[in-house]
């Protein structure tokens, strides 16, 4: 039996995940915009995970992990460390199953995210905003609770769950030539690779990353994982590094990684709010930013765009000073 951290999830794992999580997630809509099609010259299909439960695709992987536990495994609940959408999503899924969820969050995390975790029934233990503190506090919490650790992305259950998103996208669109998704730790991209390499191997997979947190881009070019210490970008869901499991998928199945500047990300974010009338977070705007920057690459193509989430602080928008 393989060590679970090294287990590579399969297409069948994704199919099983989809059956398992479908009572707890939305089959989110795919939206189009004639304005953005004209602007880019491509035919864009936006898979709107900002309308997902907890307003993020991460509820797919979190739900797959939570509802895949045996009664025995679930007894002590789940635990994780995350300052973002995984914390909300795991709290939501655990709440639906009625088991405890312990989340280690940096004390600097936005109050809105903390409130959302608590609103879904999660318990927060705060740490300092450093890797050392997070790991030490998380070890204590896990030892004290005995909870099942659900990593935000480097977990085969999570990747299999995220893969359900592009399965729906392909069903809803009848197929696309390219899928573009943001890349941070690589959970969504890995799930996309898992699904499309089986379901539609001719479909190109492009990862989109902030220039200011381009560790995946540099890893991809170098052929090995490069992890930055503390990159700073408005796309706050994309600051974390690749890990062994996500590197496996990225290095084997991603066609290319494109990057965008902070200004380009904000511009793409604002244009979707203005023209599509949807609220997406900065991380979700990185794919459109790279498409707008590389129009020749996408012109004439059918392009799936994963809108990963919609958790935004409405009191502090990046285009308003």
**Rg of the chain on CA atoms, in Å:** 18
Question: CB within 8 A of 212, min separation 6: which ones?
Answer: 231, 232, 233, 261, 262
Residue 286 CA, chain-centre distance (Å), reads 12
Q: Which of the residues 300 through 319 are near a copy of itself (CB under 8 A)?
A: 310, 314-315, 317, 319
Question: Which DSSP string do the residues of 59-97 spell out, in sequence order?
Answer: HHHHHHHHHHS-HHHHTT-EEEE-SSHHHHHHHHHHHHH
In degrees and rounded to multiples of 5, residue 30 shows phi and psi of -105, 120
Task: Indicate the residue among 149 and 319 with the shorter CB distance to a copy of itself.
Answer: 319
C-alpha to C-alpha distances, 259 to 103, 238, 246, 267, 279, nearest whole angstrom: 31, 12, 19, 14, 22
User: What is the rounded CA–CA span in Å between residue 250 and residue 252?
Assistant: 6
Query: Where does this chain touch a copy of itself (CB under 8 A) — which range of 70-78, 94-102, 220-228, 274-282?
Result: 274-282
Query: Where does this chain touch a copy of itself (CB under 8 A) — which range of 123-131, 159-167, 252-260, 277-285?
Result: 277-285
Q: Output the smallest distance, CB 98 to a copy of itself, in A.
A: 17
User: What is the rounded CA–CA span in Å between residue 208 and residue 164?
Assistant: 19
4, 70, 174, 277: residue in contact with a copy of itself (rule CB under 8 A): 277
Residues in the chain, overall count = 321
Strand order in the sheet with 123-127: 123-127, 101-106, 78-81, 148-149
Q: Which of the residues 2 through 41 are near a copy of itself (CB under 8 A)?
A: 29, 31
Query: Where does this chain touch a copy of itself (CB under 8 A) — which range of 74-82, 169-177, 244-252, 267-275?
Result: 267-275
Q: Output the smallest distance, CB 266 to a copy of itself, in A.
A: 11
Task: Indicate the residue among 2 and 274 with the shorter CB distance to a copy of itself.
Answer: 274
Q: Output the smallest distance, CB 128 to a copy of itself, in A.
A: 29
Q: Output the smallest distance, CB 106 to a copy of itself, in A.
A: 23
Task: Indicate the residue among 87 and 137 with the shorter CB distance to a copy of itself.
Answer: 87
279, 297, 301, 302: residue in contact with a copy of itself (rule CB under 8 A): 279
Report the interface residues with a copy of itself, using CB under 8 A. Answer: 29, 31, 50-51, 55, 270, 273-274, 276-280, 310, 314-315, 317, 319-320
């Amino acid at each position: 039996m393989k060590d679970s951290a090294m287990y590579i999830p399969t297409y069948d794992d994704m199919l099983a995940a989809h059956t398992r999580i479908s009572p707890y997630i939305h089959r989110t809509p795919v939206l189009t915009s004639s304005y953005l099609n004209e602007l880019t010259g491509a035919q864009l299909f936006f898979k709107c995970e900002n309308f997902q439960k907890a307003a993020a695709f991460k509820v797919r992987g979190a739900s797959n992990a939570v509802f895949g536990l045996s009664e025995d495994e679930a007894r002590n609940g789940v635990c994780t460390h995350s300052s973002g959408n995984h914390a909300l999503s795991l709290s939501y899924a655990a709440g639906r199953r009625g088991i405890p969820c312990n989340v280690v969050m940096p004390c600097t995390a936005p109050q809105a995210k903390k409130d959302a975790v608590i609103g879904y029934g999660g318990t927060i233990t705060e740490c300092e905003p450093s890797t050392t503190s997070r790991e030490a506090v998380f070890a204590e919490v896990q030892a004290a609770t005995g909870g099942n650790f659900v990593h935000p992305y480097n977990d085969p259950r999570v990747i299999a769950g995220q893969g359900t998103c592009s399965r729906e996208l392909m069903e809803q669109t009848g197929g696309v030539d390219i899928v573009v998704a943001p890349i941070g730790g690589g959970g969504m991209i890995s799930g996309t690779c898992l699904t499309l390499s089986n379901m539609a191997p001719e479909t190109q997979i492009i990862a989109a990353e902030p220039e200011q947190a381009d560790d995946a881009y540099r890893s991809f070019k170098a052929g090995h994982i490069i992890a930055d210490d503390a990159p700073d970008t408005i796309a706050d869901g994309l600051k974390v590094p690749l890990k062994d499991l996500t590197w496996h998928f990225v290095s084997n199945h991603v066609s290319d990684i494109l990057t965008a500047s902070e200004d380009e990300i904000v511009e793409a974010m604002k244009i979707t709010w203005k023209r599509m009338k949807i609220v997406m977070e900065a991380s979700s705007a990185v794919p459109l930013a790279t498409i707008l920057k590389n129009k020749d690459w996408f012109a004439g193509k059918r392009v799936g765009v994963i809108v990963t989430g919609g958790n935004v602080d409405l009191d502090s928008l990046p285009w308003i000073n």
